[in-house]
Structure 1
Amino acid sequence: MHQHHSIIDAATRDAFVARATGDLSAGYGGVMVHLGHRLGLYRTMSGAGPLAPQELAARAGCAERYVREWLGSQVAGGYVRYHPVSGTYELTAEQAMVLADEDSPAFIPSGWLTVASMWADVEKAVHAFRTGAGVPWGDHDGRLYCGVSALYRNCYRASLVADWLPALDGMVDQLEAGARVADVGCGHGHSTLLMAEAFPRSEFHGFDAHPDSIAQARRLAEEAGMGARVRFETARADAFPTAGYDLVCLFDCLHDLGDPVAAAARAARAIAPGGRVMLVEPFANDSLEDNVSSIARLYYAASTTICCAHAISEGGHHVLGAQAGEARLAEVFRRAGFRRFKRVAETPFNLVFEARP
Structure 2
Amino acid sequence: MMTIRLCAIGDRLGLFTDLAENGPATSQVMADRTGLNERYLREWIYGMSLAGYLSFDKQSREVSMPEAHIPALVDVGGPLYQGGLFKMFTGFMQPYEDLIESFEKGGGIDYEAYPDDFWKGLEHNSCVRYKNLLVSQWLPEMPDVQAKLENGGTFADFGCGAGRSSIELAKAYPKAKFYGFDLFPKNIENARKTAEEEGVSDRVEFQVHDIAKGVPGQFDVVATFDLIHDMADPKGGLKALRQACKDDGIYVLMDVDCTDDPADNEGPLAVFKLGASLHFCMTSSLGQGGMGLGTVGFPESKVKEFSSEAGFSSVRRLPIEHPLNALYEIRP
Q: Do both share a fold (TM > 0.5)?
A: yes
* 1:76–1:327 CA distance, 2 compared to 1 (3 A): same
Task: Please list, as runs of the form range in 1=range in 2, the aligned pairs for 1:65-214 lying within 5 A after superposition.
Answer: 65-84=39-58, 87-214=61-188
**In the alignment, which of 214, 218, 221 is matched to residue 244 of structure 1?**
218
1:103, distance to aligned residue in structure 2 (A): 1.8
Which TM-score applies when normalising by structure 1?
A: 0.84
* 1:134–1:28 CA distance, 2 compared to 1 (3 A): closer
* 1:171–1:341 CA distance, 2 compared to 1 (3 A): same
Give me the whole-angstrom Cα distance separating, in 2, the residues matched to 1:185 and 1:335: 21
Which TM-score applies when normalising by structure 2?
A: 0.90
1:301, distance to aligned residue in structure 2 (A): 1.4
Secondary structure at the aligned position of 2:232 is classed as: coil
**In the alignment, which of 286, 295, 308 is matched to residue 322 of structure 1?**
295
| Deviating more after overlay: 268-277 vs 252-261 | 268-277
Secondary structure at the aligned position of 2:285 is classed as: helix
| Percentage of identical aligned residues | 29
| Deviating more after overlay: 72-81 vs 118-127 | 118-127
1:235 aligns with 2:209: yes
Q: Is the 8 A contact 2:83 2:124 kept in 1?
A: no
| Deviating more after overlay: 199-208 vs 142-151 | 142-151
1:352 aligns with 2:313: no
| Residue number in structure 2 paired with 1:273 | 247
1:84, distance to aligned residue in structure 2 (A): 4.6
1:346, distance to aligned residue in structure 2 (A): 3.5
1:97-126 Cα deviation digits (max 9, x unpaired): 111111223222332322333332122222
Structure 1 gap ranges (5+) = 1-26
Structure 2 gap ranges (5+) = none
1:28, distance to aligned residue in structure 2 (A): 2.2
Give me the whole-angstrom Cα distance separating, in 2, the residues matched to 1:41 and 1:208: 33
1:134, distance to aligned residue in structure 2 (A): 3.4
**In the alignment, which of 207, 224, 230 is matched to residue 256 of structure 1?**
230
Give me the whole-angstrom Cα distance separating, in 1, the residues matched to 2:127 and 2:260: 26
| Deviating more after overlay: 200-209 vs 280-289 | 280-289
Secondary structure at the aligned position of 2:247 is classed as: strand
* 1:50–1:210 CA distance, 2 compared to 1 (3 A): closer
Q: Is the 8 A contact 2:154 2:220 kept in 1?
A: yes
Q: Is the 8 A contact 1:207 1:233 kept in 2?
A: yes
Give me the whole-angstrom Cα distance separating, in 2, the residues matched to 1:63 and 1:128: 38
1:9-61 Cα deviation digits (max 9, x unpaired): xxxxxxxxxxxxxxxxxx22223212222332211222666555454444444
Q: Is the 8 A contact 1:207 1:240 kept in 2?
A: no
1:138, distance to aligned residue in structure 2 (A): 3.8
